[in-house]
Amino acid sequence: MTFRAPIDALRRSSALGLAARLTAVFSLAILLAGAVSFAVLTEELRVRLGDQARQLAEGLATTLRKEGPGALAAQIGAYTDAVDDHYSLYLFVGPDGKALAGNITAPGLFTGPRILRAGRDMRLLSEEPDEQGHSFAAYGLRVGGAWIVAGRDTVWIGDSREILVQSIAWGLGTALLLSTVVAALLARRSEERIGHLNTVLDAVAGGDLSRRAEDSGGDDIGRIATSLNGTLEQLELSIEGLRQVSNDVAHDLRTPLTRLRNRLEPLLQRKDLPEGADQEIASAVKEAETLVRAFNAVLRIAQLEGGSARPEMQSLDLSALAADVVEMLEPVAEEEGHHLTLAAPEAAMVKGDRDMLAQALTNLVENAIRYCPAPAAIAVRLSSDAEGGVLSVCDDGPGIAAADRARALQRFVRLDRAREGEGSGLGLSLVAAVMHLHGAQLTLAANPASASGRPGLCVSARFPASRRD
């Protein structure tokens, strides 16, 4: 796994992809240039061989004109007897059509350039077996009534083309190897820098606003790192300002509300209150307590989402935590006429803050107790697999319409069925903030096991698997 991670990162690297595309274009350009060079070289060699054959034929014709047939035959005999001249062909045909000298059988007589192939157009008189089947660039001349044919073996063209192909192949292979190695090194360097930026962003998402990207490069990634640092500085200032405002609000509003409640509570003990005043005072105390709880919930959510609330992450058993919460709330559920059960067949270990998770689970169970018509079946379920643990609170109440489930997680949202009861619309918001802090995925869905005829509701949190340290 340790070795494959960098390989997978490089495979997904945009830098490596760009380098691969550039390498492909570069290779295609080399191949195209090689093909053009191949064609140009072949044509040039053919022209040169044709010129050599013509010059040989013209030289033999000059000898014939100046010195006569005997001298030409002797000259051709000297040429064909030369050890180092196996790649030329010569033919001297007299006016009567008989070959007087040469190293080939007489082909169909012709004038001008022509390609002759041994074994098809003529036969070599040489005893060299490897020369049979060669092609020759030949040139024919008619001098008086006689014919002269001279030619050069085209094997030179094949050898030269083979050398060119090998040179292109070696050059292309070397270029591909070098460009691939350089591209992989550059891509790995870019991935390391991008990985550092991702680490910084993950730390900031986890609440550590002091992290900064340490990248001094002057390229595009370096400019992004500089812009990111500036953004993080502004974000840290904004969060710190919000935190300060929250503290000020807590001091300026929560304290007076608590004092108001404390001043109202003693009035309930007085005997000289007008008729009905005690009920009004009790209602005011209850409303004050509701405001204090709502204010505390708002501050708690702000702390969780702003990162100032640092959870004490430790390995814990969700099954044991759920059992404790169910044991605590079971009497409350029975008092309201509900049936609260726990289904946790085995331990499910996760990394988390026990107090935060206990508060979130308590909120979910209390919501079901509060908003489900009695009698309702409320079940806390726990399951685990290789991907992690799933904690669910399901009821057989009226449920939440699919279109309202996303809204139900927002602050101060109270759906129609909740407006008649108590609450500030912050319970599910607090649960969502806690689960997000723990990396758990929160989902709301209808309860498929509802037996009441109502859709019911299942609020589920999938926790990532707990990794061993």
Cα–Cα dist 215/327, whole Å = 53
Same domain, 161 and 251: no
Burial 420-432 (b: 16+ CB within 10 A, else e): eeebbbbbbbbbb
Same domain as 235, residue 189: no
pLDDT of residue 302: 59
**CA atoms within 13 Å, Cβ hemisphere of 266:** 4
Mark 206-231 as b/e (b = at least 16 C-beta within 10 Å). ebebebbbebeeeeebeebbeebbee
Angstrom distances, CA of residue 5 to CA of 8, 9, 12, 44, 215: 5, 6, 11, 54, 23
* Rounded Cα–Cα distance for residues 328 and 300 (Å): 22
Domain check: are 1 and 118 in the same one? Answer: yes
Domain boundary (163, 180, 204) is at 204
Residue 235 in any domain: the answer is: yes
CATH code of the domain containing 439? 3.30.565.10
Q: Let me know whether 224 and 295 are in one domain.
A: yes
CA distance 178 to 163: 22
Taking alpha carbons only, the member of 462, 300, 294 closest to residue 392 is: 462
Note whether 160 and 70 are same-domain residues.
yes
pLDDT at position 388, please? 72
Residues 6 or more apart whose CB falls under 8 angstroms from that of 133 comprise 117, 118, 119
Nearest-angstrom CA–CA distance, 338 and 360: 20
In a domain, 97, yes or no: yes
| 333 part of a folded domain | yes
pTM: 0.45
Are residue 244 and residue 348 in the same domain, yes or no?
Answer: no
CA distance 168 to 41: 13
Instruction: For residue 37, tell me if it sits in a domain.
Output: yes
What's the confidence (pLDDT) of residue 419?
40
Residues of the chain with pLDDT under 50: 1-3, 10, 417-421, 468-469
Tokens of 145: 């009534």
User: Are 61 and 148 part of one and the same domain?
Assistant: yes
In a domain, 209, yes or no: no
Which residue carries 């299942």 as its tokens?
458
Establish if 259 belongs to a structural domain: yes
> What's the number of CA atoms in the CB half-sphere (13 Å) around residue 123?
3
For tokens 């900064």, name the residue: 212
Domain closes at, from 269, 285, 306: 306
Q: What is the pLDDT of residues 325-370, one digit of tens each?
A: 888 889 988 998 999 998 887 777 888 888 888 888 888 888 888 8
Q: Show which of 204, 236, 264 is a domain's final residue.
A: 204
CATH number of the domain to which 111 belongs: 3.30.450.20
> Which domain does 63 fall in, by range?
1-204
The verdict on 164 and 280 lying in the same domain is no
Number of domains in the chain: 3
**Domain for residue 118, yes or no?**
yes
| Predicted pLDDT at 12 | 60
* pLDDT of 39: 85
DSSP calls for 347-396: --EEEE-HHHHHHHHHHHHHHHHHHSPSS-EEEEEEEEETTEEEEEEEE-
Q: Where would I find the H helices in 206-219?
A: none
Q: Token match 């000298």: residue?
A: 101
Residues 275 and 375 occupy one common structural domain: no
Residues 291/297/298/300 CA torsion (nearest 10 deg): 150
Query: Do 162 and 249 fall into the same domain?
Result: no
How far apart are alpha carbons 119 and 185 in whole angstroms?
57
Same domain, 34 and 173: yes
- Please indicate, yes or no, if residue 117 is contained in any of the structural domains: yes
Check if the beta carbon of residue 134 is closer than 8 Å to that of residue 155. Answer: yes
Given the DSSP bridges, would you call strands 135-143 and 146-153 parallel, antiparallel or unpaired? Answer: antiparallel
Residues 385 and 248 in one domain: no
